[in-house]
Amino acid sequence: MAAQDQPNFYVTTPIYYVNDKPHIGHAYTTLACDVLARFKRLDGYNVMFLTGTDEHGQKVEKAAGDKGVSPQAFTDSVSQNFRDLTGRMNFSNDDFIRTTEPRHREACQKLWDMLVERGHITLGSYAGWYAVRDEAFYTETEIVDGKAPTGAPVEWVEEPSYFFDLSKWQEPLLAFYEANPDFVGPVSRFNEVKSFVKGGLRDLSVSRASFSWGVPVPRDDAHVMYVWLDALTNYMTATGWPIDGSFGDADKHKSFWPADLHMVGKDILRFHAVYWPAFLMAAGLPLPKRVFAHGWWTNEGEKISKSLGNVIDPNQLADEYGLDQTRYFLMREVPFGKDGDFSKMAMINRMNSDLANDLGNLSQRVISMIFKNCNGVSPALPNNPQPEDVALLASVDALLNIVRSHMDQQAFHEGLREIWQVISDANRYVDGTAPWGLKKTDPDRMGEVLAVLAETIRQIAILVQPVMPEAASKILDQLAVTDEERDFTYAGGSVRFAAGREITKPEPVFPRYIVDEEEKGSA
Ligand code: ME8
């Protein structure tokens, strides 16, 4: 299909603050987007997948100052860590945006001008609390024991400031939510957003005058833009907006805006589901179709924090357990949208039971048997299938539609659970048909059984590609499936496993993790 005939799909991660190194939480959000982007590409979409770094604001300026380097030098080096992580985690992002880039400055200033021209930004003065850690303003009534409701320290700020007339957008936002019941997922989080907006909105300070590390406010050198107005605009910048600007790209923008999905953590939902749509409505621009807020990871039951020294480095996880194993664990272990806990034992259990035992053994046994007992050539499917063949093939053929509908709801864990259900069916089928025993008694039937299994494994490997691209590719190689035969038009039952192809001796794809005695003790 030519790109212009394909449906488009645009998915974004939050852009991460460069005040610190990337950790498991950042890798998690980007992984979820990567899985969706890969899924949609295999499903025939023209995909744009964006991630990047949020480099302005007081928090970053302060982190640079603490290190004794200029904000630009600091952001250059930390942003690179996030870029490196995309390579290490095999993320397939199509772009990596930095808010310090000229294309982004131009987009921010354009949006600002549109808001000013339409009368939604006016100069005033701000007196209130500000939490640098959250880059957020708080009212007196929100302060709990001298801190922000998030626990972040606050400071009193009094300075001239431009204000966005957020208070006028309460009714339009509520009407928009009503008309777009899928705008926020999960539903429980959407309800929180609605109650927040129903509680009334105050005008929002959108510039700061007491520091300079930000996008300059047009025509007023004393102010830089509030970092959240700057940051949220990145989603439009990367589509080649403004289209008449020096970095404009009308075709790209038309293809990808409005975004299909902004994936975020629950901590920043309000910025994406309240402020961002209000800014866009005020500017007369189209709104994103959906925002999904996932849950929070803890480490062995504890909040992850630098001060507790328990930050999980995704690079180390991939080194220790394997990249695809880590990707699988993160997507399978916790219902997407809920909070989750990382524990070594949970990781090892998933690795050994779901991967090494269930999928790994199945494919290794079946492909080895084909190699040994079918002269290294793929056998043909039965002309007259037995009821157990029909049942297994029907369950694997049904998977594509089932998994697709879970993916469209960002229910990654459910999609994987369904796939593993069919893997169990296939393992039961192996036990029931006992192909190794058929070698002497009924070699023709043995070939049929192995072909039914190979067909099941072929479709499963096609479907797990978004989560485990490397492992899936090894299995597909072992089954002599060509590179052109791996998209989703080859799943769902319309195409079958090809007979007569050369099968070579397979190597195991999912090693077991051997737990040493010391680890058992500490787990
Ligand atoms: O908020 N569990 O950047 P940030 C799960 N720059 N996800 C986690 C996590 C955890 N323990 N910790 C972090 C910002 N995350 C802004 C965003 S967007 C226009 C600007 C993930 O570096 C999660 O996605 O603080 C969360 O929303 C994000 O990192 C916050 O990243």
Q: If DSSP states are collapsed to H, E and C, what string results for 418-454?
A: HHHHHHHHHHHHHHHHCHHHHHHHCHHHHHHHHHHHH
CA of 287 from ligand 1 middle (Å) equals 22
Ligand 1 atom, smallest distance to 54 CA: 6
Place of tokens 């290794």: 364
In short, whether 69's Cβ falls inside 6 Å of ligand 1 is no
CA of 99 from ligand 1 middle (Å) equals 16
Q: Are 248 and 241 in contact (CB under 8 A)?
A: yes
DSSP single-letter state for residue 193 = H
| Domains in the chain: ranges and CATH | 344-490 (1.10.730.10)
pTM of the model: 0.97
In short, whether 104's Cβ falls inside 6 Å of ligand 1 is no
In short, whether 14's Cβ falls inside 6 Å of ligand 1 is yes
In short, whether 497's Cβ falls inside 6 Å of ligand 1 is no
In short, whether 452's Cβ falls inside 6 Å of ligand 1 is no
User: 450: buried, middle or exposed (CB in 10 Å: 19+, 13-18, 0-12)?
Assistant: buried
Residue nearest to atom 19 of ligand 1 (CA): 232
**For each of the chain's 523 residues, which pLDDT tens digit applies?**
556 689 999 999 999 999 888 999 999 999 999 999 999 999 999 999 999 999 999 999 999 999 999 999 999 999 999 999 999 999 999 999 999 999 999 999 999 999 999 999 999 999 999 999 999 999 999 999 999 999 999 999 999 999 999 999 999 999 999 999 999 999 999 999 999 999 999 999 999 999 999 999 999 999 999 999 999 999 999 999 999 999 999 999 999 999 999 999 999 999 999 999 999 999 999 999 999 999 999 998 888 887 778 889 999 999 999 999 999 999 999 999 999 999 999 999 999 999 999 999 999 999 999 999 999 999 999 999 999 999 999 999 999 999 999 999 999 999 999 999 999 999 999 999 999 999 999 999 999 999 999 999 999 999 999 999 999 999 999 999 999 999 999 999 999 999 999 999 999 999 999 987 666 655 4
User: 164: buried, middle or exposed (CB in 10 Å: 19+, 13-18, 0-12)?
Assistant: buried
Residue nearest to atom 7 of ligand 1 (CA): 25
In short, whether 341's Cβ falls inside 6 Å of ligand 1 is no
Q: How many CA atoms lie within 13 A of 488 on its CB side?
A: 19
Write down the pLDDT at residue 523. 45
Q: Pocket of ligand 1, candidates 89, 264, 269, 279: which has the most ligand atoms within 8 Å of its Cβ, to mutate?
A: 264
Which amino acid is located at 297 in the chain? W
Residue nearest to atom 3 of ligand 1 (CA): 16
**Angle subtended at Cα 452 by Cα 451 and Cα 453, rounded to the nearest 5 degrees:** 90
In short, whether 279's Cβ falls inside 6 Å of ligand 1 is no
